[in-house]
Amino acid sequence: MADFDVIVIGAGPAGYVAAIRATQLGLKTACVEKWIDASNKPVYGGTCLNVGCIPSKALLDSSHKFAEASHDFDVHGIKVSKVGIDVPAMIARKEKVVKQLTGGIAGLFRANKVEGISGTGKLLKDKQVEVTDHEGKTSVYSADNVILAAGSVPIEIPPTPLDHNVIVDSTGALEFQEVPKRLGVIGAGVIGLELGSVWARLGAEVVVLEAVDAFLPMIDQQITKEAKKIFTKQGLDIRLGAKVIGSALKKGKAKGVTVTYKDSEGEKKEDFDKLIVCVGRRPLSDKLLADDTGVEINERGFVTVDDHCATGVPGVYAVGDLVRGPMLAHKGSEEGVMVAEIIAGQKASMNYDLVPSVIYTHPEIAAVGKTEEQLKAEGIEYNTGVFPFAASGRALAANDSDGMVKMLADAKTDRVLGCHIIGPSAADLAQTVVVAMEFSSSAEDIGMTVFSHPALCEAVHEAALAVNGHAIHIANRKKR
């Protein structure tokens, strides 16, 4: 008889959620996690809670409040003589938030009777799981089902080897103890823009080097044009088509790094006090599997799975950043729930077409469904509705009126195909559209729904009305 009904390897958002849901369904479950804190105690939450989503948002919120106090209070009639930043205190607050949330997961494990096993997990043949603790001792457990949820790690690139002091990855960028005078960021993706924003708000001169010529190519291009304009105004020097080819740490009393990059004008050099490498993440699948497990890993390191996250080995599943699709915590969590329910004998599935994505800059960028560029490429006829936050009474009252809501709907059926937002509370506003799209709502359905006033969500309402030329608070464009 197996030791457990389910063993989950990894306690990030995909893993811990899968473990909790499995026990709720009556399955004896263990969750293996290698993270430990400074006192060598197990810490749950994976990258997201420890060095990803949560700590970065804590710093984003702290730095945004600093920026508001420094630049935006006057318009409200609030006079502040001098604003300062205590970076170590800001970092300490971030750590407190992380500790509270990771401790909360430990409490959830106890409440749901999930057995936490501290160590590094490895899948062996026949659903055996080897766990190596932090002293090197190994133990082997058996399970009827195994869920792989080991997560991902930052990608390193040869031109900029990390020294974890001057040249850091996204984890190191969360630990600066002072504001760098000049900060380089390699990569203008989600992580690069968020971390660059944190330190730019606090006074750093930030240069973002992006190898490709397009800015946020996976986002609707009307939104990205607005975003680049706003971010440039905020002080982010975003250089596209700038491929980094080398770096050299300064020697002696000089501190910092010289970065060499190539753009359309040729080879150039820039000096920085700190350099953050944010060129993406890769699945943490190396050393996760023994050679004879039968589980397949593709050339990019992703575990091969079907639409229900099942590998080719019966009883073995993989979820989250280990598998295809966007590396998003909420996508992994829902996969964890789906797999737990399938193991318990329930029918479960996930709508991958409606996984929202968010960039937590200010203003936020949020999207769900198809972009206008995708609809054109697929030959789908559509109508567009756009409503600017500059016409929102609530946004103007808050002095936070940059951006817009853009809605796309099928020209024949009026079914909403996508929604793209840059503006205040974009993440929360987009979620309302996710719910509507899950139930196949039309733009007219959203337009006929009563929205509270004055509220930011009215921008979603007006964008939906604008799809069919019925917006009230802006002049309507002609339908395509």
Residues annotated as catalytic are 453
The Cα 53–Cα 97 span in angstroms is 12
Residue 276 makes CB contacts below 8 A (sequence gap 6+) with 168, 169, 170, 172, 173, 183, 184, 185, 186, 192, 195, 196
With beta carbons less than 8 A apart as the criterion, state whether 174 and 264 touch.
no
72 HSE (CA, 13 A, CB side): 12
Q: What's the one-letter identity of residue 185?
A: V
Instruction: Name the phi and psi angles at 259, rounded to 5.
Output: -110, 130
Q: What is the CA radius of gyration of the chain?
A: 24
DSSP calls for 124-157:
-GGGEEEEE-TTS-EEEEEEEEEEE---EEEPP-
Q: What is the DSSP letter of 449?
A: S
Phi then psi dihedrals of residue 412, to 5 deg: -95, -45
Q: Locate tokens 């395509």: which residue?
A: 480
The 8-class DSSP code of residue 120 comes to E
C-alpha distance from residue 34 to each of 110, 114, 132, 243, 336 (Å): 18, 16, 9, 35, 19
Residue 167 DSSP class: E
What is the rounded distance in angstroms from the CA atom of residue 443 to the CA atom of residue 457? 15
CB-CB neighbours of 48 under 10 Å: 24
Q: What are the Cα distances from residue 400, in Å, to 232, 360, 409?
A: 17, 15, 27
